[in-house]
Structure 1
Amino acid sequence: MCGITGIKAFNEVGRINMIHLAAATESLAKRGPDNQGLFYDHFVGLGHRRLSIIDVSESAHQPMSDASGRYQIVFNGEIFNYMQLRKGLQEKGVSFQTESDTEVLLQLYILFGKKALNHLNGFFAFAIFDAADGSLFIARDRLGIKPLYYYYDEDKLIFASEMKAIMRYGIQKELSFESLLTYLQLNYIPAPLTILKGVHKLPPGHLIVSKKNEVTVEQWYKVPFDASSAVGRQSYSDKQKELRELLTSAVKHRLVADVPLGTFLSGGTDSSIVAGIASKLHPGIHSFSIGYRDDPFFDETEYAELVARHFNTQHHVFKLSNDDLLNHLEGMISNIDEPFADSSALPVYILSEETRKHVTVALSGDGADELFGGYNKHLAWQKSVEPSFSNALAKGLLPLWKSLPASRSSAFGNKVRQLSKYGEGLKLSAEDRYWRWASYMAEGRALDYLSPSAKEELVMETYLGNKGGWLLPLHGSSSLNSFLLADTQLVLPDDMLTKVDRMSMANALEVRVPFLDHRVVEFAFGLPESFKIHNGTRKRILQDAFKGFLPQKLYNRPKKGFEVPLLKWMQNDMKSTLDGVVFNDDKLNEQGIFSAQQLALLRQQLHSNNPGDAHATTWALYVFQKWWENYFK
């Protein structure tokens, strides 16, 4: 796992920007503390920061060239089937100078070009320069596990693992108000957008080819799914067996490393399955979990400890207090180079920091919810598309739900919040319902938070065009699998995987995700909906396939998620900080982005007995303002 960056200049003006290559590479040091390497050609520069995982010798440092010197590669990620690929290449007469997967990837590209991507099982973002024709080839993995940002104009193309490296090249920074409006709703910014105009995220399963002065972006992988095909007569028991075999293979692939490795263990089904399989393949593996000492409502460590005993892992528990969260806040914020307000990033940051003291690689259960239907909203979606008396009642009682105190921080308040959102969704089309349920606030409400001058800068046609692209899986379809596909293409890469990548790599920890082995993903999207949610049971096939494998106590318990008890924190410990950073009228008027009047109402709601999602919105604004101070102002 590493950090990469590079520049291709189209002319002498662009070539001036190559002086920033070393600084841009250095900005990625936390992603790769073991080595820094630079490559310069007349019009191309490549930079690499290395976290040594496979073949830790100096011979595997990057940028790496082939024997002829024609090709140069910088690579972030792991190719888990590299040994099989290496053997096949050797049979074709290819010789190797290292034991690394990087060299296998390079030789595979030399032989097959962009079709090499179809042979890879892994997660990656990489760039290959061909000195013979001056071309640059850049690609990102199928599901977007590893990040890749890029920027280009008439003078140059720049790419990097993180946006802060892009900014080191001295590009003009201009706020994207279309992205800001999206951020206020989702609390993150989906690809291809970033918070800055002109800077893009390369979407999952996409590649870039730059020849001469041209830049072409194209899709090389799409999850093979047809809403009408995931039906029919399939044997449920056979599919359970196939799932067990696929996941065992996926975990086995991800246990390949030349450094110590372990597994995250939250106590939920997904991480428990991964930890259990890993423990059978790697007896005595270390496992790591985190809990909340000051708020038992959010603490699930008892289940993690149960699983650890069941599989005899070497278990480590980190119990956090509110002071621990506060003490790590600045460290976490400093590693977010564009606004990203999933508050669970904070415990993931701390978990990664503690885990890195013991191992260099950790497995996680991310992705299972999006593939198999694990969230409340997935169950709600299935219920919403079926006409029923309960739906009519939920819709009719919407005024009641809205009149009751709603909050994520208590069981009753959370149920009220869910009923209110469910009732709202029932009145909308499939596409609008998905967007509302994926959002913390409605579009109109988000617009209210913008100042008049910000609204003038906002191009609604551009915003709506991007939104339509994210909702394409639901165009003409209201199936559960279509909903899950939308989550897999939107929420998964731009929220869940972004969170894990940034927080783990800030601590030089590599996190591997067996559920996102593309074979598992393609298997999941070939299943009928009834295999995923049935009679109120979520992730049905996943739970049934491993029922005799996991402790029985894990089943039929509430799903809480990896949340931070933000509301209590903001109403007490952070109150004065928020008044200075978020609710400061003088600052807001000088900045000219947000409506001071609307933020005053938000503050009032935050401290009321009916806060709803006010704390989530306040957190999003706090993160934005800290980003503004650190990277923009």
Structure 2
Amino acid sequence: MCGLVLLVGEKSQGLISECTERLRHRGPDSTSISIGNGVSLGFQRLSINGDAVQGHQPFEEQGWSAVVNGEVYNYLDLITRYELPKSGCDTSVMLPLFLLMKEDVIDELDGFYAAAILNPERTEAFCFRDLIGKKPLFVGSFKGTVFITSELKALPEADWFKALPKGVSKVDLISGKFELLKEHHQESTDTPLNEALIESVLKRLPADDQPLGVFLSGGLDSSIIASITSRFREDAHYFILGNKDSSDSVAAQTVVDYLDLKNVSYVPLPHEHEIPQLVSETVYATESYNPSVISNGLSTFLLAKAARKAGIRVALTGEGADELFGGYHQFSEKEPWQETRKQLINDMQFTELRRLDLSCMASSIEPRCPFLDRKVRAYSNQLDYCQLYNTKTNKVALRQSFSDYLPDEILHRQKTSCDVGSGVRGMVVRYLHQNGRSEREELLEIWNTHFNFESTNNYFHSYPVFDAAIDVRGESHR
């Protein structure tokens, strides 16, 4: 919902305005720049909670400064419990809580966030990322300037960079070196899955006077989110990507009819001649030349553009269910399903969540993912093989928990990725293959027109679990 960039060094003051401007899409409502002690800090705000004064960043207290990108759902409880200054801005609790309990603050926060808190001497930054790594945050340097940023495109180049780890890290602002101070602890829960997910959806609903979007593909995950949302927000606006005969559109229409949804927008596929420009825009938005990130990213990019045009700022999505509840593979119990599931979850910050966040924020849309709630994840971590997979299907626990929320044809629909179900992948694959080269080769050439980084860095191209399949995929490979 916001973008931040911090620069340290002699050249930082001359660069900060340009670097901050490159993140305007993440927060078009206001721009703030703070300069002092050799540190330049830029912030772009997308206003969702709190007025312009309450939400102005950086937050300042006792010489410390903080910039926070994200959402803290339990901020009112934290204000009461710890007697913090009253505020309508959820992220304003981060700095005073940090001053009370230092890195243990992450044990108290319920939400998604990436934040940097600077000490008064401006020699160190304490950086925070949420449990799943939903919001991006990088550290690196170029030509003697150390940086911390929400997106790499804020920088003209980099000698090196790394994604900051989930949890709390301390960054030396002279060298850029960092150490992990505290990791998130794994939680457990006794709450049934349907109760946990309903609670998760409710806490992610914006205020009643703010419009709400839901991205609906007709797949199990997004349909569950749509079904729950429809029970609490009659005014929610549902967005469906694909022409009328696409498999996703047909399935989504079944959900629309079953739930009697009223406010629905059908987002048509682009024309073939529009694909080159749209692919280029998606490469820039996602900072990637991985074919899967691009074709699925374009699907998200189109939905986000339509939502923004309709006046939406917050959209609910079904991301996270595949990784947590066993949606990608049909394993036998003898296969290494636990290791694969763990890697998929750990990689999300660089794969599906990176695709979601950057594709949505390119249109200033804040995507919220109820399946990634702390309590929902805790429930999923307690599932055994038979609750994830059986001989006929997967997502066993998820399908059982919401059996009365959806029609059978949706409840038992097999996974089809959004780019395939909408028809976007076919358009992208045909375009990228027209010169007889691989998708990666074509995408790398496009990527090089946008970025001046070292392209071999895994961040720009890797999807570890699926890369082998991606490189031989066709227009409809699932």
**Inter-partner Cα distance in structure 1 for 2:359 and 2:429:** 26
Contact 1:373 1:533 in 2 (8 A): yes
* Counterpart residue identity of residue 71, structure 1: W
8 Å contact kept, 2:106–2:184: no
Partner of 2:55: 60
The 2-side partners of 1:28 and 1:113 are apart by: 29
Residues 472-487 of structure 1: pairs in structure 2 closer than 5 A: 478=336, 480-487=337-344
Deviations 1:534-584 (A, max 9, x none): 232210011001101212221333322112557864786566xx53xxxxx
Distance 1:281 1:571 in 2: 39
Give the deviation of 1:267 after TM superposition.
Answer: 0.8
The corresponding residue for 1:119 is 108
Q: Distance in 1 between matches of 2:341 and 2:218?
A: 23
* Contact 1:143 1:205 (C-alpha < 8 Å) held by counterparts: no
Contact 1:223 / 1:522 at 8 angstroms: preserved in 2? no
Could you say which residue in structure 1 is the equivalent of 2:269? 320
Q: Which runs of 5+ in 2 are unaligned?
A: 454-478
Deviation at residue 156 of structure 1 after TM alignment: 4.7
In structure 1, the residue matched to 2:439 is 619
The answer as to whether partners of 2:55 and 2:89 remain within 8 angstroms in 1 is: yes
Q: Is contact 2:275–2:427 with CA below 8 Å preserved after alignment?
A: no
1:300 aligned onto 2:157: no
- 2:7 and 2:40 in contact (8 A); partners too: yes
Asked whether the 8 Å contact 1:305–1:315 carries over to 2, the reply is no
Q: Distance in 2 between matches of 1:129 and 1:349?
A: 34
**Other-structure match for 1:543:** 399
The match for 2:309 is: 357
| Aligned residue among 445, 451, 455 for 1:631 | 451
Q: Secondary structure at the match of 2:416?
A: coil
Q: Displacement of 1:209 after TM fit? A: 3.4
CA distance in 1, matches of 2:411, 2:181: 39
| Cα shift at 1:134 | 4.0
Q: Secondary structure of the residue that 1:127 maps to in structure 2?
A: strand
Shift of the alpha carbon at 1:21? 1.2
For residues 281 and 448 of structure 2, the distance between their equivalents in structure 1, rounded to whole angstroms, comes to 16
State the SS of the aligned residue for 2:101.
helix
Q: Would the alpha carbon gap of residues 279 and 155 (structure 1) be closer, same or farther in structure 2, given more than 3 Å must change?
A: same
Q: CA deviation at 1:206?
A: 5.0
Contact 2:326 2:389 in 1 (8 A): yes
Residues 203, 622 of structure 1: alpha-carbon distance in 2 compared, 3 angstrom cutoff: farther
Question: Could you tell me how far apart the structure 1 residues matched to 2:429 and 2:121 are?
Answer: 62
Question: RMSD in angstroms over aligned alpha carbons?
Answer: 2.7
Superposition pairs of residues 175-254 of structure 1, within 5 angstroms:
198-205=160-167, 207-210=169-172, 215-218=177-180, 220-222=182-184, 224=186, 242-254=192-204
Task: Kindly provide the CA deviation profile for residues 431-486 of structure 1, in whole angstroms up to 9, marking residues without a partner as x.
Answer: xxxxxxxxxxxxxxxxxxxxxxxxxxxxxxxxxxxxxxxxxxxxxxx3x3332111
- Equivalence for 1:446: none
Q: How does 1:468-547 map to 2 (within 5 A)?
A: 478=336, 480-490=337-347, 492-547=348-403
- Match of residue 296 from structure 2: 344
Shift of the 275–221 alpha-carbon distance from structure 1 to 2, 3 Å rule, reads farther
1:331 is displaced (CA, Å) by 2.7
Residues 561-572 of structure 1 mapped to structure 2, 5 A cutoff: 561-564=417-420, 569=427
Q: Is the contact between residue 336 and residue 627 of structure 1 (CA under 8 Å) also seen in structure 2?
A: no
- Matching residue of 1:95: 85
Helix, strand or coil at the partner of 2:162: strand
Q: Spell out the pairing of 1:351-390 with structure 2 (5 A cutoff).
A: 351-358=303-310, 359-375=312-328, 378-379=329-330, 381-382=331-332, 385=335
Identity %: 28
Contact 2:314 2:366 in 1 (8 A): yes
Which whole-Å CA distance do the structure 2 matches of 1:265 and 1:569 have between them? 20
Q: Name the CA distance, whole Å, in 2 between partners of 1:268 and 1:171.
A: 40
Report the TM-score, using the length of structure 1 for normalisation: 0.66
What residue in structure 2 maps to residue 30 of structure 1? 25
| Larger fraction in helix | 1
Stretch moving more, 319-328 or 519-528? 319-328
Q: Deviations over 1:29-61 (max 9, x none)?
A: 111111110111212221100111111434312
* Alignment counterpart, residue 260 of structure 1, candidates 188, 211, 218: 211
Higher strand share: 2
CA offsets, 1:286-312, max 9 Å, x none? Answer: 11111146xx5x531122122223333
CA distance in 1, matches of 2:426, 2:3: 37
SS at match of 1:45: strand
Output one character per residue of 1:98-141: Cα deviation in whole Å (capped at 9) or x when no partner.
41012111211121111101111111111111215743111111
Alpha-carbon distance between aligned partners in 1 of 2:143 and 2:429, rounded to the nearest angstrom:
49
Question: CA shift at 1:219, angstroms?
Answer: 6.0
Tell me the residue number matched to 1:47: 42
Q: Against the structure 1 CA distance between its residues 219 and 287, is the aligned structure 2 distance closer, same or farther, given a 3 Å change threshold?
A: farther
Give the structure 2 partner of residue 451 of structure 1: none
Distance change in 2, residues 1:267/1:7 (3 Å): same
**CA offset digits 1:389-448 (Å, max 9, x no partner):** xxxxxxxxxxxxxxxxxxxxxxxxxxxxxxxxxxxxxxxxxxxxxxxxxxxxxxxxxxxx
Letter in 2 for 1:272: S
Give the letter for the 1:2 counterpart.
C
Larger radius of gyration between Structure 1 and Structure 2: 1
Residue 115 of structure 2 aligns with an amino acid whose one-letter code is F
Letter in 2 for 1:164: K
Query: How far apart, in 2, do the equivalents of 1:201 and 1:325 lie?
Result: 30
**Contact 1:80/1:256 (CA < 8 Å) preserved in 2?**
no
Cross-structure match for 1:84: 77
CA distance in 2, matches of 1:103, 1:339: 36
- Aligned-partner Cα distance in 2 for 1:574–1:619: 5
Residue type at the aligned position of 1:3: G
Partner SS state of residue 320, structure 1: coil
Aligned partner of 1:49: which letter?
Answer: Q
Contact 1:28 1:49 in 2 (8 A): yes
Paired AA for residue 73 in structure 2: F
Note the residue ranges of structure 1 that are not aligned, 5 or more in a row: 9-13, 173-197, 231-237, 386-477, 580-602, 607-617
Say which SS state the counterpart of residue 206 (structure 2) adopts: coil
Would the aligned equivalents of 2:137 and 2:163 in 1 still touch at CA under 8 Å?
yes
Kindly indicate whether the alpha-carbon contact (under 8 Å) linking 1:481 and 1:525 is maintained by their aligned counterparts in 2: no
1:340-367 Cα shifts (integer Å, max 9, x gaps): 4321111111111001122110000100
The question of whether the paired residues in 1 share the 8 Å contact of 2:315 and 2:368 is answered with: yes
Q: 1:353 to 1:629 in 2, by over 3 A?
A: same
Q: Cα gap change, 1:337/1:573 in structure 2, threshold over 3 Å: closer, same or farther?
A: closer
Structure 1 distance, partners of 2:139, 2:219, is 36
How many residues are matched?
A: 445
